[in-house]
Structure 1
C-alpha cells in the first residue's frame, strides 16, 4: 500500500511582504489543497505591502489574512520545493529539496502599475511551477 505525500512549496523573500506573499497566494488559488504552501522572509516586515494586496485583489485573490513570517530552518526542511526571490544566501538548504531562485523585482515602494507587472510575472512563474509539480495539469 503506497502513501502519497502532497508537495510542499516555500516561497522566500527578504520581507515576506510582497513577492513571496503574491506567489503563495497564486499557488493557493491555482493548485488548491493539492499542495502545501508556505512563505517566509529573512527579515520580515510588520505587514504585507498594501499595494501587493490591492494588486492581488484585482485578480480575485485575497491575501489580507496573511502575515509576514520569519524564515525558520524547520519551514525550509519541511518543504520539497524552496523558491527564493532576493534573499541571497540566508536560505537554508536541505538534501532532497528542489531549490529555485526567481529574479523578480521587489514591489516595495512601487505604485500599482509597477506592482501589476511584478504580479503578472509571478503568476506566470507559478503557473509554470504547477505544470512541473503536477504534469497532468
Structure 2
C-alpha cells in the first residue's frame, strides 16, 4: 500500500503553474509525496512554454495533462491542498472533503505566466521566474512537511 501523502496543486486552467508544481514536487520529493494537479476550468493542453522551461531543469512534464477539479473532488483523499492562483482561491471549495484541517490548505499566489506579454524571450523569462518561485516555495514547504 502506498503511504505517500497526496498533494493537490490547484489553479484555474491547470496548464502552467499547477503542472510545474506537480512536476517539481515529484522530482524533489516524489518518494514522500504523490503530487497531483487540477484546474477549476481545465484547459485542453499544458502550455508548451511550461513544458519547455521544465525541460530546462531536466524535468519532463510532457506526459502530464490538464484535469478538472471533478477528477479528485469527493473521489480522492488529499493530505494537502495548495492553491497557486488568486482566481482559483476565490472559487475553490474552502473545505475539501477528507482534508484533515484548514492548516493543510495553502494559498501560494504566483503570477500566471500564460498571461505574460512582450517578446517570446520576455514571455519565456516570466515562465522561468514563476518556475523558480514555485521551486523556492516547495523547498521551504518540504522542510516543514
TM-score range relative to shorter protein: 0.7 to 0.9
CA distance in 1, matches of 2:47, 2:74: 25
Across the aligned residues of Structure 1 and Structure 2, the Cα RMSD in angstroms comes to 1.8
| Residue of structure 2 in register with 1:108 after alignment | 114
Alignment coverage as a number of residue pairs: 130
> In structure 2, the residue corresponding to 1:74 is in which secondary structure?
coil
Given the alignment of the two structures, is residue 81 of structure 1 paired with residue 80 of structure 2, yes or no? Answer: yes
CA distance in 2, matches of 1:91, 1:19: 16
**Contact 2:10–2:18 (Cα < 8 Å) also in 1:** yes
Gaps of 5+ in 1: none
Q: Residue 34 of structure 1: CA displacement?
A: 1.8
More divergent stretch after superposition (19-28 vs 79-88): 79-88
Q: How does 1:1-137 map to 2 (within 5 A)?
A: 5-72=3-70, 73-74=73-74, 78-86=77-85, 87-92=88-93, 93-94=95-96, 95-97=99-101, 98-110=104-116, 111-133=123-145
**Contact 2:89–2:107 (Cα < 8 Å) also in 1:** no
More divergent stretch after superposition (4-13 vs 52-61): 4-13
CA distance in 2, matches of 1:132, 1:11: 17
**Contact 2:11–2:84 (Cα < 8 Å) also in 1:** yes
More divergent stretch after superposition (45-54 vs 102-111): 102-111
Gaps of 5+ in 2: 117-122
CA distance in 2, matches of 1:13, 1:25: 14
Q: Residue 6 of structure 1: CA displacement?
A: 2.5
| Residue of structure 1 in register with 2:119 after alignment | none
